[in-house]
Structure 1
Amino acid sequence: MTRLPMLSVSGLAVLLLLGCASQPRELMPTPALYQSPGGVPLFDLPREARPKPALDLLYVTDRAPESEPESMLPYGQGRARRIAFGAAEVQIGPDLSWEELAEQSRLAQRTRPVQLELGAVRELGVFPEEPYRFEQLPSGQLVPDRAERARHAAARKELQAEVARRLAAAPKKDVLLYVHGFNETFATAAYTAADLCHFLGRESVCAFFTWPASSTGNVLISYTTTTESADYAVEHLKKTLRILGTTPGVERLQLLAHSRGTELMLKAVRELALEAIAAGREPAILYKIDHLVLLSPDIDVEIASQQVTGFLSDPDLVTVWPEARLPRILEGRLTIYASPEDRALLVSKILFRSRHRVGQLRPEDIPPKFQEYLDNIGRVDLISFEGKRTDLFGHSYFTSSPQVSSDLVQMLRYGKRLGEPGRQLRRTGPVTWEFPNGEEGPALADGARRDAPPDAITGPDWHGI
């Protein structure tokens, strides 16, 4: 692979990489609902509308450019004092036509390899370096530097224009944003985003936010570094969500976060909500966040509980609303996937001396009174996966288990609620569900969207995060 020099195009740095030195990775297993024979069609497109096998993803990052000479990745593990964004191509092969890829994507046991490999990465824009400069007036008052604000506004406009360009070609006017966890590189984050985008039918604008999670060195030291890097990235993810959610034409944001990225996501969404509330705006309307999905959350259960119910425990915050009404944060649901078989979370549980990590919760770990409390809030689901471990540490089952990935697709692509055909999990409590061991949920026969929830799971709008 050859690294090309930096170019200047319209005042923006453009980084172009051809090929990639990262190791290819297999496409995730086919979700159960698509598996042949009798599965739901993954794609149903006329020949002229069929895309290329490769996926073109939008990325946003606060990783610093890679400085290691032997690495050919565009961004490394260092923290950048700015946000950059661009386009990342994930190639799918080797040598697969669209027809061959569509066929292999419906097989439980594939007849030929289907590999993901990072292709061209183009950096399209960069926000100013932080902290932004300011001016001091003769009165002593501080005001933002005009030139710095102009550069920020120009970068925001470029990012929103790129989203708008992608929206114009997308069947759904949604943005799907994935945030990764610990021990991930730019390439591996792109691969997971590509997995999800492909099996969600390539219908939305697919994007990933990648932050400087450590992926080398002593695992304990690396994990500690990653924990603080996640805190560092909160402001940048918050800005990203604000820009995406307020882009004209975006109808919904679908947010997914994995492992350590779940705490990063919760903090960013919470801070955004506080901004909106302080301005007297409804967060769900302003930012258009639909579903918020936490996958194998690496969060202490008591901290997560405080994040989820914080608004309810701060009456002074909401007194500005009519009759102290609680503002809505999400249009859809907060869905948590957990597994007691998740061995990767044992490290953080020991390091933080945590009683429970959310990603390891069983239904019986949530006291009945707190389940009832969450049920009264509404729109909160915890789904437990206790089936056979489908990856080495049982930490990536949302892509490695066809049963779990099928449930995720039913929710995000087809709008299915728990308890409906296709998501017939076993209910174990007011807000807890579990997969039937050894069983695959039935596929959605007609691919139709069914939005009305069954009576068993109706409840008030979700008003807390």
Structure 2
Amino acid sequence: MVGNIPRLLTILLLAVVMTGCGNSAGRFSSTPNLYSTGRNYPAQGVSEALRTVTPQMYFVTDRAQVKQGENSAGYGLARSNSMVFGAAKVQFGDTKDWEDLVQRTHSDSGQRFSSLVVQPAREVVRFPATPLPFERLNGRIHNLAGPEQEYQQQVRLFQAAISDEIKRTGNGRILIYVHGVKNQFDDSLTVLANLWHFTGRESLPIAFSWPAGNSGIFGYFKDVEAGEFSIFHLKEFLRMLADIPEVEDIDIVAHSRGTVVVTSALRELIIEQRGKGRKPKLALKTGTLILAAADLDVGVMQQRLMAEHFAEAFEQINVYINSNDSALHLSSALTSAPRFGASSAADFSLGELESLGRIGLVNFIQVEKAGSAYGHSYFRQNPAVMSDIALTLRTRAFPGGTLRPLELDEQNLWTLHPDYPLESLPDLSQFYDR
């Protein structure tokens, strides 16, 4: 028992530190500096259909529904075999109208939004529980015809709803956010609202919320297993999206353990498309992939992603890393393997970073002075990181140019300084009406 004490202490510390993965009551931790100049927030580029202080966010979840009497009280921690597509409105604090929201976004006074409030979610499509009943016929396994037809009917309803929303707003680009551990259902929607608003509302926002949020010493491990459970549903969701003619590109932002759920699902889809003789990027319509504070084993990433040329399926992949991420250091201690989001050049084999530099698709971005006690939730707390994400999604720019003034070191790692020179950025209005 004595020999297990250090490991138990590490588990306890991990449970405490990983609490930082959760969103803080849906608050804007800080308004990104990018918009403090009152010049680069693209308010005039937002279509009339989206100029509201209570915009509609969409979600796909395999969390079980929580009931209060006969009414839904949202979605909780338990798993559901039945995937749901729905919508919920997110109130931007105590803002009165669109003009007030724009003024606050442009404010140089450091004024911040009040808490974002998620209004009751509305189910649009509920898919039949998976796996569907199946049988073996002529040496192959098939879903039974009746259940398969019922499932495909719900697929068509989902695709029609997305198609109608694209036509209403004119936004054919999809923005998906996938959270990490210790996140509740509402957290995924408030963080998505934050990202979507500051990138100019030029996309259709959808949160993929998996059954995370377990508390206690072993809550982290429960969440990890829940993420594994959700990989199939995420694959189904991405397949359905890509098959919608009106969908142009799909951008994905993933945080912490959500990066494992995302990359696992995408890897399997890429293999599937290659097996069909298709180019994954064209078939899946994948755009930019952003991995922040990735709780992903470096060795697994190297063998399962880099070795299989995963990056060729994307416009670019931005990996934000912080070598002082305490949560990921504790995760590394438990697994005896370095984590991707806390990696450094020393964690890569000779020539690996050079190879990534040659293909020009994967950008490792070191975040200096990431902020917060544990340095794990910086992607939404650090103004420079949020601003760089917003610039990436809005302009499609790669790091190192005028639009994203990061510095490349001799080891092929980009550095995002805390004094990111946002005030000197050019007028971005040319990107407002893309």
Same fold by TM-score, threshold 0.5 exceeded?
yes
Which of residues 321, 330, 335 in structure 2 aligns to 1:347?
Answer: 330
Residue identity in the other structure for 2:286: I
Where does residue 191 of structure 1 map in the other structure?
Answer: 190
Question: Could you tell me how far 1:428 is from its partner in structure 2?
Answer: 1.1
* Distance in 2 between residues matched to 1:304 and 1:351, nearest whole Å: 18
* Distance in 2 between residues matched to 1:214 and 1:376, nearest whole Å: 40
Matched, 1:96 2:96: yes
Where does residue 212 of structure 1 map in the other structure?
Answer: 211
Question: Could you tell me how far 1:44 is from its partner in structure 2?
Answer: 0.8
Alignment of 1:51-450 (within 5 A): 51-66=51-66, 73-107=73-107, 109-111=109-111, 113-135=113-135, 142-218=141-217, 221-311=218-308, 328-330=312-314, 332-354=315-337, 356-363=338-345, 365-387=347-369, 389-429=370-410, 431-441=412-422, 442-449=424-431
Are the equivalent residues in 2 in contact too, given 1:380–1:431 (CA < 8 A)? Answer: no
Question: Could you tell me how far 1:170 is from its partner in structure 2?
Answer: 2.9
* Distance in 2 between residues matched to 1:428 and 1:259, nearest whole Å: 25
Question: Could you tell me how far 1:327 is from its partner in structure 2?
Answer: 10
Normalised to the residue count of structure 1, the TM-score between the two structures is 0.82
* 1:23–1:67 Cα change, 3 Å: farther
* Distance in 2 between residues matched to 1:179 and 1:92, nearest whole Å: 21
Cα deviation 1:33-64 (Å, max 9, x = unaligned)? 21125x31331158955621012111001111
Question: Could you tell me how far 1:95 is from its partner in structure 2?
Answer: 4.5
Cα deviation 1:111-140 (Å, max 9, x = unaligned)? 464320110310111111122112466x78
Where does residue 17 of structure 1 map in the other structure?
Answer: none
Question: Could you tell me how far 1:106 is from its partner in structure 2?
Answer: 2.2
Residue identity in the other structure for 2:165: R
Please state whether the residue corresponding to 1:335 is helix, strand or coil: strand
Question: Could you tell me how far 1:431 is from its partner in structure 2?
Answer: 3.7
* 1:309–1:247 Cα change, 3 Å: same
Please state whether the residue corresponding to 1:81 is helix, strand or coil: strand
* 1:158–1:392 Cα change, 3 Å: farther
Please state whether the residue corresponding to 1:346 is helix, strand or coil: helix
Normalised to the residue count of structure 2, the TM-score between the two structures is 0.87
* Distance in 2 between residues matched to 1:236 and 1:119, nearest whole Å: 25
Which range is displaced more, 188-197 or 93-102? 93-102
Question: Could you tell me how far 1:141 is from its partner in structure 2?
Answer: 6.5
Question: Could you tell me how far 1:329 is from its partner in structure 2?
Answer: 1.6
* Distance in 1 between residues matched to 2:173 and 2:243, nearest whole Å: 12
* Distance in 1 between residues matched to 2:47 and 2:340, nearest whole Å: 45
Please state whether the residue corresponding to 1:376 is helix, strand or coil: helix
Aligned residues: 408
* Distance in 2 between residues matched to 1:164 and 1:232, nearest whole Å: 28
Residue identity in the other structure for 1:58: Y
Are the equivalent residues in 2 in contact too, given 1:29–1:108 (CA < 8 A)? Answer: no
* Distance in 1 between residues matched to 2:210 and 2:374, nearest whole Å: 22
Residue identity in the other structure for 1:446: L
Cα deviation 1:166-219 (Å, max 9, x = unaligned)? 21133431000110000000011111111101111111000110001133222x
Are the equivalent residues in 2 in contact too, given 1:361–1:384 (CA < 8 A)? Answer: no
Task: Give me the identity figure in percent.
Answer: 29
Question: Could you tell me how far 1:151 is from its partner in structure 2?
Answer: 1.2
* Distance in 2 between residues matched to 1:118 and 1:445, nearest whole Å: 33
Question: Could you tell me how far 1:162 is from its partner in structure 2?
Answer: 1.4
Please state whether the residue corresponding to 1:44 is helix, strand or coil: helix
Where does residue 33 of structure 1 map in the other structure?
Answer: 34
Moved over 6 A (4+): none
Where does residue 8 of structure 2 map in the other structure?
Answer: none
Please state whether the residue corresponding to 1:176 is helix, strand or coil: strand
Where does residue 19 of structure 2 map in the other structure?
Answer: none
Question: Could you tell me how far 1:86 is from its partner in structure 2?
Answer: 0.5
Which range is displaced more, 95-104 or 288-297? 95-104
Q: Which has the higher contact order (CA 8 A, sep 6+)?
A: 2
* 1:146–1:412 Cα change, 3 Å: same
Question: Could you tell me how far 1:440 is from its partner in structure 2?
Answer: 3.2
Please state whether the residue corresponding to 2:154 is helix, strand or coil: helix
